[in-house]
């Protein structure tokens, strides 16, 4: 073949690549960070303040160093599982399958809460407490066989599992039941009825596990179209936090050993944007700021909500990069920064020092 003739094998490879049938980079990628950067670059209602991001990076690193913040913090909490076996996998999978929408418009005294172990739990902890209480009562709430049994796992049973010590019911109970049903079916059909087989299928890759969750489970497919774009923007909050919880629980070993945990981004919900705004890292347009402060509903998948979530992801990524720039040997990733920011804003809430409200979006995505 002369230099002027086309290489038929090279042409075939090029055609496959252009048709989307060949990925030259075989390393799995969730696409979350890239989508967040795109939305951030095109955002008109949420903006990043770079000086505040640099200041936040310095403060966050200093406080995490002072507290000795690490994945081990996850298991220390009294409600998180203490065992490190397949039952723990089932618990974490169930927990993050249902890890969404706990906020309430009611005052603390009358909002949805779970009474367990002589304490009153609200928010995310109400979910964890309710799951632990159900297991104590002999209800197999973390068993996928139970989820598929329409006579045993009913809406009334779920009302009992998540019963409140106030008059307010846990939000979106019907949607939670639908998530359990779907997950039970997928686990039965594709993963021999247990999420441990799902983890094995990812072969030690955090990004692969996130992608499997988004591919096979509709209730984990947290992606939305932004401003008419053909390709959806991926947030994958609960899929990513499931991977992060596994990594933290097992401290990067056994079922939590992921060689690419750094590909997991911040988990785009409503709490981290709240603290990033209070730190000056995120600034809102006057209409958006007024809507958040007046606690108006911000629709899921709408432009405002997507800007809030995407800019938060990109903001935490910039904070992470700044920390690594200033402290190259720091053992830090977006997961730990997210955990730290979430813990901080919850502590501020308890102290009554959270001056900025969070945005109100009711959905199964967070």
Cα 321 from Cα 363, distance rounded (Å) = 31
Cα 320 from Cα 200, distance rounded (Å) = 29
Q: Are the C-beta atoms of residues 266 and 313 closer than 8 Å to each other?
A: yes
Cα 275 from Cα 282, distance rounded (Å) = 9
Cα 138 from Cα 147, distance rounded (Å) = 15
Question: Catalytic one among 45, 269, 338, 354?
Answer: 269
Cα 152 from Cα 239, distance rounded (Å) = 27
Among the listed residues 98, 75, 137, the one whose alpha carbon sits nearest the alpha carbon of residue 217 = 98
| Cα 164 off chain centre by | 24
Whether residue 354 lies in the annotated active site: no
DSSP 112-176: --EEETTEEE-THHHHHHHHHHHHHTT--TT-HHHHH-TTTS-HHHHHHHT--SSSPPPTTHHHH
Q: How far is the CA of 95 from the CAs of 90, 98, 132, 166, in angstroms?
A: 8, 5, 10, 22
Cα 191 from Cα 127, distance rounded (Å) = 25
| Cα 112 off chain centre by | 22
- Cβ neighbours of residue 67 closer than 8 Å, sequence gap 6 or more: none
- Cβ neighbours of residue 26 closer than 8 Å, sequence gap 6 or more: none
Q: Are the C-beta atoms of residues 39 and 233 closer than 8 Å to each other?
A: yes
Q: How far is the CA of 172 from the CAs of 148, 162, 290, 294, 345, in angstroms?
A: 19, 11, 26, 23, 24
Catalytic residues: 269
């Amino acid at each position: 073949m002369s230099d002027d003739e086309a290489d038929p094998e090279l042409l075939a490879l090029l055609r496959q690549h252009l048709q989307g049938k060949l990925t030259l980079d075989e390393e799995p990628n969730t696409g979350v960070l890239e989508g967040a950067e795109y939305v951030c670059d095109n955002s008109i209602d949420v903006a990043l303040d770079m000086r505040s991001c640099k200041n936040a990076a310095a403060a966050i690193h200093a406080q995490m160093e002072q507290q000795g913040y690490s994945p081990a913090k996850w298991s220390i909490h009294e409600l998180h599982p203490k065992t490190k076996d397949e039952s723990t996998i089932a618990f974490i999978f169930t927990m993050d399958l249902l890890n969404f929408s706990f906020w309430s418009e009611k005052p603390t005294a009358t909002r949805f809460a779970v009474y367990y172990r002589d304490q009153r739990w609200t928010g995310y902890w109400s979910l964890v407490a309710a799951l632990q209480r159900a297991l104590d009562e002999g209800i197999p709430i973390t068993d996928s066989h139970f989820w598929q049994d329409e006579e045993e796992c009913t809406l009334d049973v779920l009302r009992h599992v998540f019963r409140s010590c106030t008059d307010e019911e846990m939000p979106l109970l019907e949607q939670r039941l639908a998530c359990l049903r779907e997950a039970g079916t997928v686990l039965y059909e594709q993963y021999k009825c247990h999420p441990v087989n799902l983890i094995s299928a990812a072969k030690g890759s955090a990004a692969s596990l996130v992608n499997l969750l988004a591919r096979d489970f509709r209730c984990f497919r947290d992606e939305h179209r932004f401003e008419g774009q053909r390709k959806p923007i991926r947030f994958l909050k609960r899929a990513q936090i499931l991977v992060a919880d596994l990594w933290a629980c097992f401290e990067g070993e056994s079922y939590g050993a992921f060689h690419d945990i750094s590909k997991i981004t911040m988990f785009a919900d409503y709490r981290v944007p709240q603290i990033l705004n209070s730190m000056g890292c995120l600034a809102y347009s006057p209409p958006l700021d007024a809507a958040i402060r007046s606690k108006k509903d911000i629709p899921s998948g709408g432009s405002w909500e997507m800007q809030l979530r995407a800019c938060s992801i990109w903001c935490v990524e910039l904070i992470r990069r700044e920390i690594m720039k200033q402290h190259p040997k720091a053992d830090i990733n977006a997961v730990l920064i997210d955990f730290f920011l979430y813990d901080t804003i919850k502590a501020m809430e308890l102290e009554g020092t959270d001056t900025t409200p969070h945005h109100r979006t009711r959905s199964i995505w967070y």
